[in-house]
Amino acid sequence: MRTIWWESGMVKMIDQRLLPGRLEIVAYDDYRDVARAITDMVIRGAPAIGAAGAYGMALAARQSSAQDRDGLLRDLRQAKEVLDAARPTAVNLSWATTRLLKVAERPDLTDVEAIRSALLAEAERVAEEDIAINKRMGAYGAEVIPHGARILHHCNTGSLATVDYGTALGVIRAAHEQGKQIHVWVDETRPRLQGARLTAWELMRDGIPMTLIADNAAGHLMRTGQVDVVLFGADRVAANGDVANKIGTYKLAVCAKENGIPCYAVVPTSTIDLSLPDGDHIPIEERVPEEVTMIDGVRIAPEGVRVYNPAFDITPYRYLTGIITEEGIAYPPFRESLRRLKEAAEARIWSDR
Ligand code: MRU
Distance 353 CA to ligand 1 centre (A): 31
* Residue of 15, 40, 41, 44 to mutate, ligand 1, most atoms within 8 A of C-beta: 44
User: What is the location of CATH 3.40.50.10470 in the chain?
Assistant: 144-351
What percent of the chain stands above pLDDT 90? 98
Question: Across the chain, what does the average pLDDT equal?
Answer: 97
Q: What is the model's pLDDT at position 353?
A: 66
Distance 231 CA to ligand 1 centre (A): 13
Q: What pairing do the DSSP bridges indicate for beta strands 229-232 and 150-153?
A: parallel
State the pLDDT confidence band at 352, using cuts at 50, 70 and 90: low
Give me the DSSP letters along 19-45.
TTT---EEEESSHHHHHHHHHTTSS-S
Distance 156 CA to ligand 1 centre (A): 6
Q: Pick the residue whose CA is nearest to atom 6 on ligand 1.
A: 45
Distance 247 CA to ligand 1 centre (A): 10
Q: Which of 55, 120, 134 is nearest to 93 (CA)?
A: 55
DSSP lists the bridge partners of residue 10 as: 7
Q: Report which ligand 1 atom has the smallest distance to the Cα of 154.
A: 10
User: What is the location of CATH 1.20.120.420 in the chain?
Assistant: 4-134
Q: Report which ligand 1 atom has the smallest distance to the Cα of 48.
A: 15
Distance 36 CA to ligand 1 centre (A): 17
Q: What pairing do the DSSP bridges indicate for beta strands 322-325 and 4-7?
A: unpaired
CB of 291 within 8 A of CB of 193? no
What's 269's DSSP letter?
G
* Residue of 41, 155, 267, 288 to mutate, ligand 1, most atoms within 8 A of C-beta: 155
Q: Which of 151, 195, 198, 155 is nearest to 173 (CA)?
A: 151
Torsion angle defined by CA atoms of residues 72, 78, 83 and 87, in that order, rounded to the nearest 10 degrees: 160
User: Which residues are near ligand 1 (CB < 6 Å)?
Assistant: 44-47, 90, 155, 157, 161-162, 167, 194, 232-235, 245-246, 311
Q: Which of 17, 7, 100 is nearest to 51 (CA)?
A: 100
CB of 19 within 8 A of CB of 63? no
- Phi and psi (nearest 5°) for 184? -115, 125
C-alpha–C-alpha distance, residues 17 and 21, integer Å? 9
Given CATH 3.40.50.10470, say whether it is the number of domain 144-351: yes
Q: Pick the residue whose CA is nearest to atom 10 on ligand 1.
A: 233
**Given the residues 84, 235, 242, 313, the one annotated as active site:** 235
State the pLDDT confidence band at 264, using cuts at 50, 70 and 90: very high
Q: What CATH number does the domain located at 4-134 have?
A: 1.20.120.420
Give me the DSSP letters along 81-135.
HHHHTT-SS-THHHHHHHHHHHHHT-TT--SHHHHHHHHHHHHHHHHHHHHHHHH
CB of 142 within 8 A of CB of 174? yes
For the segment 123-170, what is each residue's pLDDT rounded down to a tens digit? 999 999 999 999 999 999 999 999 999 999 999 999 999 999 999 999
Distance 157 CA to ligand 1 centre (A): 6
Q: Pick the residue whose CA is nearest to atom 15 on ligand 1.
A: 157
Map residue 54 onto helix, strand or coil: helix
* 235 in catalytic set: yes
C-alpha–C-alpha distance, residues 3 and 127, integer Å? 10
For the segment 58-92, what is each residue's pLDDT rounded down to a tens digit? 999 999 999 999 999 999 999 999 999 999 999 99
For the segment 321-349, what is each residue's pLDDT rounded down to a tens digit? 999 999 999 999 999 999 999 999 999 88
Across the chain, the runs of DSSP E, i.e. the strands, are: 4-7, 10-14, 25-28, 150-153, 183-187, 210-213, 229-232, 236-238, 243-246, 263-266, 272-273, 294-295, 298-299, 312-315, 322-325, 328-330
CB of 154 within 8 A of CB of 219? no
